[in-house]
């Protein structure tokens, strides 16, 4: 398994500002993923982040709104830009280990006012 | 059409009673299937997975699931639940091409004393 931490655990942000979420893993991993979980909903994949390459975004998510960095094999950041109340969600990072298993961080709860 | 469907959004159950959570998958996902649990205010934890081999898969915390190819199902069961099993449960499958998880809508289990 892997130990994954996220910072911050929660935040309240003003409309129009940005929030950067950090994801740290205790081992080197190739693939990291960012998900959004809107209130009372399931998880939706935002993008896949591989070290050394541009993130791959899913339909409905764009780099200008959700820029991602992946500077090394243990760390990634997701920025949610130009915040609106509709961005209020839990954002989770995950990593893929062997056997196609994904392990998830504890999530970042974002509230936009 | 959704690739992974959880047929029940909520399942109330009494403590020490059995529980079954239903999950069906479509052909757009591979037969790599997973069940995750999300306790309140926490990230997702992998309960069990099916990649190949025996169709009855045993996981953590006394849960098991059965892969049924003819019915395209992967139902989760536990013979006797505890109060601590109160959580949201997600069925997920890997998309046929690649390693991106697609999640079902989730089933909220409420264990009553």
Q: Answer yes or no: is pLDDT of B29 > 70.
A: no
| CB pair distance less than 8 Å for B32 and A100 | yes
Instruction: Report chain A residues whose CB lies below 8 A from the CB of B105.
Output: 41-42
Provide the pLDDT confidence category of residue B1 given band limits of 50, 70 and 90: very low
Q: Provide the domain count of chain B.
A: 1
Containing structural domain, residue B35: 4-112
**Which of these, B28, B75, B20, B14, lies nearest to B50 by C-alpha position?**
B75
Per-residue pLDDT for chain A (113 aa), expressed as one digit of tens each? 789 999 999 999 999 999 999 999 999 998 899 999 999 889 999 999 988 788 999 999 999 999 999 999 999 999 999 999 999 999 999 998 877 889 999 999 999 99
Contact between A61 and A44 (Cβ < 8 Å): no
Q: Provide the domain count of chain A.
A: 1
Pairing type for strands B56-58 and B4-6 reads unpaired
Domain harbouring B76, CATH code = 2.60.40.10
Nearest chain B alpha carbon to A38: B105
Nearest chain B alpha carbon to A93: B43
Domain harbouring A26, CATH code = 2.60.40.10
């Amino acid at each position: 398994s892997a130990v994954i931490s996220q910072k911050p655990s929660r935040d309240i942000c003003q409309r129009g500002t940005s929030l950067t979420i950090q994801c740290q893993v205790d081992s080197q991993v190739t693939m990291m993923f960012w998900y959004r979980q809107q209130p009372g909903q399931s998880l939706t994949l935002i993008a896949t982040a591989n070290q050394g390459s541009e993130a791959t975004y899913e339909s409905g998510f764009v780099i200008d709104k959700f820029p991602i960095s992946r500077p090394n094999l243990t760390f990634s950041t997701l920025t949610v830009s130009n915040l609106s109340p509709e961005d209020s969600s839990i954002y989770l990072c995950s990593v893929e280990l062997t056997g196609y298993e994904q392990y998830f961080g504890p999530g970042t709860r974002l509230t936009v006012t | 059409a959704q690739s992974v469907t959880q047929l029940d959004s909520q399942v109330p159950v009494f403590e020490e009673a059995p529980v079954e959570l239903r999950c069906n998958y479509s052909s757009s996902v591979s037969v790599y299937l997973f069940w995750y649990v999300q306790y309140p205010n926490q990230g997702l934890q992998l309960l069990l997975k099916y990649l190949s081999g025996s169709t009855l898969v045993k996981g953590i915390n006394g849960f098991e699931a059965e892969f049924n190819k003819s019915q395209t199902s992967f139902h989760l069961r536990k013979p006797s639940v505890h109060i601590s099993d109160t959580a949201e449960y997600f069925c997920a499958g890997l998309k046929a091409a690649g390693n991106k998880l697609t999640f079902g809508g989730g089933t909220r289990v409420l264990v009553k004393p």
